Amino acid sequence: MESPIFLPPRRKFIRQSMVGAAAIVGSQFFTQPGLFADELLTPTMTEGPFYPDKLPLDTDNDLLVLNNAITPAVGEITHLTGKVMDQKGNPVRNARVEIWQCDAKGVYLHSKGGDRDKQDRNFQGFGRFATGLKAEYYFRTIKPVPYPGRTPHIHFAVYVGEKKVMSTQCMIKGHDLNANDGVLKRIKNPKARESVIVDFKPLPGSKIGELTANFDIVIGVTPNEDQVKEQEQEKKNG
């Protein structure tokens, strides 16, 4: 069993900046729980071949700074937020959200994920965050960039307990490569396809061109259902 995910003290500014930014942009960051009686399930999408084959020592929610490094990663700074909900709009607390993406040069944190000579060694490439009472998650990362064969995207995995309940991706609203992206085209339902296309907007008041992006994730398994299934299985196993 993995140890609980905690933010080191040096990352406290991230949580503080999340609160401050949310106050600035309001609903641009988080949606209200129970806003809809029935949420459209977020479509499951391929995990792809570039989930890190060796996780970095730093796996927190700030992908721009590695450990105590001074030099930040290259790219457009993006505050990526959202909620994890069940199909009724209820918050899914204590879910573990993981993201991974290529750096600004199109290189993943994977031994076969691109030209290692071009890799941005200051980009973490992978991060984790555990949702709280309101089921919100937050990452500081970069706006995704394209690489051969794919439109820009960020990979997501969601765990409830120790069980991975879904893998998905989010893309950039209005990007030209979306129309011909094979992975995105596999989603046949127009509303479901639209739900993974995210608007990357300028952060009001930012003097360095920061962006915000909000991607709510709706899963088909609630924690209670999952726990019941596990308990029933344990009974069967004696």
pLDDT score for 10: 45
Q: Which residue has the tokens 């984790």?
A: 128
Residues 6+ apart with CB under 8 A from 142: 63, 64, 73, 74, 75, 76, 77, 78, 101, 103, 104, 123
Could you identify the residue written with the tokens 């396809």? 193
Helix, strand, or coil (residue 52):
coil
| Tokens 């949580």 -> residue | 15
Sort residue 125 into left (φ over 0), alpha (ψ -120 to 50) or beta: left
Q: Which of 182, 219, 174, 179 is nearest to 46 (CA)?
A: 182
pLDDT tens per residue, range 100-132: 999 999 999 999 999 999 999 999 999 999 999
Structural class in CATH, domain 9-236: mainly beta
Distances from the Cα of 163 to the Cαs of 8, 48, 96, 155, in angstroms?
25, 19, 10, 17
Q: What is the pLDDT of residues 15-25, one digit of tens each?
A: 444 444 444 44
pLDDT per residue as tens digits for the range 187-229: 999 999 999 999 999 999 999 999 999 999 999 865 555 544 5
| Average pLDDT of span 4-12 | 43
φ, ψ dihedrals at 130, nearest 5°: -100, 125
DSSP E strands in the chain: the ranges are 77-85, 95-100, 126-130, 136-142, 153-160, 163-172, 197-198, 201-202, 211-214, 217-218
pLDDT, tens digit (0-9, with 9 covering 90-100), for 51-101: 999 999 999 999 999 988 889 999 999 999 999 999 999 999 999 999 999
Torsion angle in degrees (nearest 10) through CA of 118, 198, 150, 105: -10
Mean residue pLDDT across the chain? 84
Share of the chain above pLDDT 70, in %: 76
79 bridge partner residues? 140, 212
Count how many residues are written for the chain.
Answer: 238
